[in-house]
Structure 1
Amino acid sequence: MSANIASTGTPGVRRVPYAAIGNGFALLGLLALAIAFVPLHDDAWWPASPQRMRWIWAAVAMTLYAAISGRLLWRSRSRPRRARDAATSGDQVLVAWASQTGFAQQLAERTAATLADAGMDVQLRALAQVDAATLATASRALFVASTTGEGDPPDPALAFVRDVLAAPATLPSLQFAVLALGDREYEHFCGFGHRLDQWLRKAGATPLFDLVEVDNGDAGALRHWQHHLGLLAQQPELSDWSPVTYEPWRLRERVELNPGSVGGPVFRLALSPPAGMQPTWQAGDIAEIGPRNAADAVESLLAALQLPAAAQVRFGDRQLALGDALSRAHLPESAAVAGLEAQALADTLKPLPHREYSIASQPSEGNLQLLVRHMRRPDGRSGLGSGWLCEYAQPGATIDLRIRGNPNFHPPAPQRPMILIGNGTGIAGLRAHLAARAEAGARRNWLLFGERNRGHDFLCHDDIERWQADGLVERVDLAFSRDDAQRRYVQHVLRDAADTLRTWVDDVAAIYVCGSLQGMAPGVDAVLREVLGDALVEQLLRDGRYRRDVY
């Protein structure tokens, strides 16, 4: 594990230096062998004195050996100090785990290692070693919590539940996130993770992102957690923990929805599945995309290395042409891999991480639709996923795609009123829900949507206006922040409709929020709590009537 991970042992238990004891016995054994061999040397050990150059080279070798040994000893002694320094860092991330079988601990260790490799200071602890004082002084904490039985905490976490979770707390300075492990066959799925999440929210802690549920180790959900870790570490191109098995979809169409916008261009993409495949999904589900590099970047690297694109190599568990493998991997600097043969080069490659997008359509519409904003890095280069989808891939191109179920954002019952709130490309997830509600004949739908300018950024306006004219959307409230002197966002529109909000909630409406985690989502949450009160909002969360898909 990286040196900047401070791992705390069990309080009050002295760690036995097994490594030092083992090394001591090994040295004693070598000394005993040396003494045993002494009687075999009854003559002179060396017939003549070594030449002068041999003495010099022996001295040089001994000096180098001493220097290297001293360096290794200094590093081993300094490592605990660096861990202690990390433990006192104000910008440190606490990673705490509660595990029954060891799986949560493994995920916590992998989480800590991912953040540490990204240069962050991390402290790794069992939840039993976390007390109220630790949480009160922490600035950021990630919890990996498994659930046993019908919503119970793991046995090792019982002390934390008794001493910490049972007492009220005030944690206004803490930012947190929870990875909840469970089995969906149980009624209280991920019950302990949800209980921990709710306790932290009630204590005033701020979620870094919404709770991530993992059903029986689902790899897709774990990739979603890792996606958030990359954003937290400001390194969104970290490789996935586990490879993704994609299907080869086809890009049928790409249309820019907001030409002339002061924001980045947004494209609607229509994709068709492989021949013979009949995919199904629900509103709220996610498309995982395997991005690729620009073709000219791959060609330039191959030309610099003087390697053929068609050379067959093993890349992960697949046999691919070298050019194809490079298109799916982080491209190395040519100087770093110069002189390598094709397979040796392939062995150094790290796959590009997946990208996630809300599905904007229903299967009955005949294609899978995405709304993607073309993002630019600070140096002007295209973003990894949006560059591939919005710039490099051309209509007809193969798109690696996998549909991931997202049960936490699946639709409510058709008879339940629905309030849909979002901004920007968050309209994608909301559009899928409105399309599903239209198919089901559910008419009590209230949409609140915000963007920059009405003239350019009223995304999906044709669908929304058609559904409203057909009586399938009862109410639409819009906020275009750049159209007025005083900027108004979707949360301001929601506050202005406070009386209507209370009425819909009294009618047992479900509230679904999709869009930006920064600004919009916390702003909407604050208005909900202001209008409805914290107790009711917490009850809506527990009942599944307040759900979010924010990023």
Structure 2
Amino acid sequence: MSSNRSPRALIGNLAVGLALLLIAFLLLRLHLGESWWQAPPLAAQWWAALAALAVYALACFTLWWCTRQRDDDSGDSNEPPVLVVWASQTGFAQQLAQRTAAQLRSAGHRTRLRAIDQVDAALLTSSQKAVFIASTTGEGDPPDHALAFLSQVMPQALSLPQLHYAVLALGDKTYEHYCAFGRQLDDWLRAHGAQAFFDTVEVDNADADALRHWQQLLGQLGGEAGDASDWSAPAYQDWRMRSREVLNPGSVGGKVFHLQLQPAAGALPAWQAGDIAEIGPRQSRAAVTQWLQQHGFDGATVLADGGLLADLLSRSHLPDSCDSRDANALAASLKPLPHREYSIASMPGEGSLQLLLRRQLRPDGTPGLASGWLCDYTQIGDRIDLRLRSNSNFHPPRSDAPLILIGNGTGIAGLRAHLRARIEAGAHRNWLLFGERNAAHDYHFGAELQQWQREGSIARLDTVFSRDHGQFHYVQDALAAHSDVLRQWLDDGATLLVCGSLQGMAPAVDKVILNTIGAEAHQALRIAGRYRRDVY
């Protein structure tokens, strides 16, 4: 939500102001003319006034005590707390900061919640992890209470290489300087050596999609922060699994699956390259059946809303214990499973929505929540809860501009969609740099990519396979070796799209770009929207 004031809010403020002026005028009349008070207050009235004052003071103290800033000491005592900072004009950023801190605490992290005017250089230099929730007010201005941070902390020559951070920027796209303060904060942190967990998440007027995306990204701070229930559940549509294929049999890495999905009814909806599929995972049928038997419930029980208990359990966290024997009471206590996000690997013209995902395993060897559901538990024809989400930050550039695509692993999914869109648009000046483990097993979409290169749809194709002992070890090594070509393509107006691993690949690629073109040009690329990332 933006903290900019709407015309309706302005009218409301004027109305309240006029009402207060009218009340003041009426009270003023009591003081004009002759004395209107005939006697001093009685003793009982004095005591009543003192009692009311004491009650008011106690209420103020209680409110302060319950809402005061406190460090959370739960979780691993050896882990430094995550600093959660909010800058808010209307209070919405503060609410999101409190929710963010609560989600991190539920994952076992200690947290330190602070308003931005309570943050100084010493606190930043002593912190290792920090998240900032920053709103923008007026025409790109910071909230009022952030001015001290801007004037006293930001001018200092701080060195923050130890700090890993994330920024949630709140704004309103109807204003010219959208999310200006959040972007300014991100630029300042980067300039002083801090390292971003992921790119700034921008929220237009409390957009629920962006806030769900923020929730999922919080899981990258470690632990199980990404398993918290969504703050607002996606409105899923009914899709069906059409096909599923393992793309890397024999690979030393985890299995990678290629999925094709279609709506249960009607034609494929429209989407753009770079858009996201939000998937609503489910518990396996075996897990639900075992839980029902263990706790003595009948999965066929019809709930008050008309649904079946077994279906609701499949979409929920399964509780370890259950005190109630009433199915509706149980239903009311269940917490829904969080969504998962996947880059769409296809375009609508191909006749299906395609995904590429690696099956994740928990420490005990069991499949992960969403990847297990999609790769192990579903059957062809089964229902899949899915919702499309526009990802404007990763949409295609102009078709007449060159495009550089860099990624590794399953990050090829989002890059493939971009290549397909470019080919459909007749844009052939495309350079793909892709890295994986072994060419024999992990060259996802390899035959297709090589065909596109032969046809001239891909001008340059550089692949790097770390286990094959080739010329380059990782994709960033190939990019560095071709720095002259990178500089030339950027001089020609190319846009850079990076998709894949946040750990290792993305920051290493970013460092190569920075070293190749310099800090000023690097920042100019980001501001112009010619350097975009979809990393996880």
TM-score class, shorter-chain normalisation, is 0.7 to 0.9
* Structure 1 letter corresponding to 2:515: E
Match for residue 116 of structure 1? 105
SS for the counterpart of 2:133 is strand
Q: CA deviation at 1:278?
A: 4.4
SS for the counterpart of 2:227 is coil
1:470-509 matches, within 5 Å, as 470-484=455-469, 488-509=473-494
Q: Does 1:532 align with 2:522?
A: no
Q: Is residue 90–residue 138 contact of structure 1 (8 Å, CA) maintained in 2? A: no
Q: Is residue 90–residue 139 contact of structure 1 (8 Å, CA) maintained in 2? A: no
Q: Distance in 2 between matches of 1:218 and 1:381?
A: 34
Match for residue 94 of structure 2? 105
Q: Is residue 93–residue 142 contact of structure 1 (8 Å, CA) maintained in 2? A: yes
Instruction: Give the count of matched residue pairs.
Output: 478
User: Which of these residues, 241, 266, 270, is aligned with residue 280 of structure 1?
Assistant: 270
* Structure 2 letter corresponding to 1:250: R
Q: Is residue 94–residue 122 contact of structure 1 (8 Å, CA) maintained in 2? A: yes
Q: Does 1:383 align with 2:372?
A: no
1:221-241 Cα shifts (integer Å, max 9, x gaps): 111111122331410322111
Q: Is residue 305–residue 338 contact of structure 1 (8 Å, CA) maintained in 2? A: no
Q: Judging changes above 3 Å, is the alpha-carbon distance between structure 1 residues 81 and 383 closer, same or farther for their aligned structure 2 residues?
A: closer
Q: CA deviation at 1:163?
A: 2.1
Percent identical: 57
Q: Distance in 2 between matches of 1:489 and 1:305?
A: 51
1:325-336 matches, within 5 Å, as 325-333=312-320, 336=321
User: Which of these residues, 137, 141, 145, is aligned with residue 152 of structure 1?
Assistant: 141
Q: Judging changes above 3 Å, is the alpha-carbon distance between structure 1 residues 137 and 24 closer, same or farther for their aligned structure 2 residues?
A: closer
User: Which of these residues, 203, 206, 210, is aligned with residue 217 of structure 1?
Assistant: 206
Match for residue 7 of structure 2? none
Q: Is residue 311–residue 322 contact of structure 1 (8 Å, CA) maintained in 2? A: yes
Q: CA deviation at 1:166?
A: 4.1
1:348-381 Cα shifts (integer Å, max 9, x gaps): 2111110010011111111111001111111011
Match for residue 245 of structure 2? 255
Q: Does 1:464 align with 2:449?
A: yes
Q: Is residue 230–residue 238 contact of structure 1 (8 Å, CA) maintained in 2? A: no
Q: Distance in 2 between matches of 1:319 and 1:209?
A: 41
1:501-520 matches, within 5 Å, as 501-520=486-505
Q: Judging changes above 3 Å, is the alpha-carbon distance between structure 1 residues 83 and 473 closer, same or farther for their aligned structure 2 residues?
A: closer
Match for residue 383 of structure 2? 398
SS for the counterpart of 1:313 is coil
1:81-96 matches, within 5 Å, as 91-96=80-85
Q: CA deviation at 1:345?
A: 2.1
SS for the counterpart of 1:411 is coil
Unaligned 5+ runs, structure 2: 1-50, 60-64
Q: Is residue 252–residue 271 contact of structure 1 (8 Å, CA) maintained in 2? A: yes
Q: Judging changes above 3 Å, is the alpha-carbon distance between structure 1 residues 281 and 25 closer, same or farther for their aligned structure 2 residues?
A: closer
Q: Is residue 178–residue 193 contact of structure 1 (8 Å, CA) maintained in 2? A: yes
Q: Does 1:542 align with 2:519?
A: no
User: Which of these residues, 417, 422, 426, is aligned with residue 432 of structure 1?
Assistant: 417
Q: Distance in 2 between matches of 1:467 and 1:80?
A: 58
Q: Does 1:305 align with 2:290?
A: no
Q: Judging changes above 3 Å, is the alpha-carbon distance between structure 1 residues 293 and 487 closer, same or farther for their aligned structure 2 residues?
A: farther
Q: CA deviation at 1:141?
A: 1.2
Q: Distance in 2 between matches of 1:511 and 1:85?
A: 42
* Structure 2 letter corresponding to 1:343: N
Q: Distance in 2 between matches of 1:460 and 1:137?
A: 46
Q: Distance in 1 between matches of 2:322 and 2:259?
A: 36
Match for residue 5 of structure 1? none
Q: Distance in 2 between matches of 1:500 and 1:253?
A: 40
Q: CA RMSD in A?
A: 2.6
Q: CA deviation at 1:312?
A: 1.5
Unaligned 5+ runs, structure 1: 1-17, 27-75
Q: Judging changes above 3 Å, is the alpha-carbon distance between structure 1 residues 338 and 486 closer, same or farther for their aligned structure 2 residues?
A: farther
Q: Is residue 84–residue 132 contact of structure 2 (8 Å, CA) maintained in 1? A: yes
Match for residue 12 of structure 2? none
TM-score under structure 2 length normalisation:
0.84
SS for the counterpart of 2:250 is coil
Q: Distance in 1 between matches of 2:247 and 2:358?
A: 10
Match for residue 310 of structure 2? 323
Q: Judging changes above 3 Å, is the alpha-carbon distance between structure 1 residues 464 and 186 closer, same or farther for their aligned structure 2 residues?
A: farther
Q: Is residue 74–residue 105 contact of structure 2 (8 Å, CA) maintained in 1? A: no
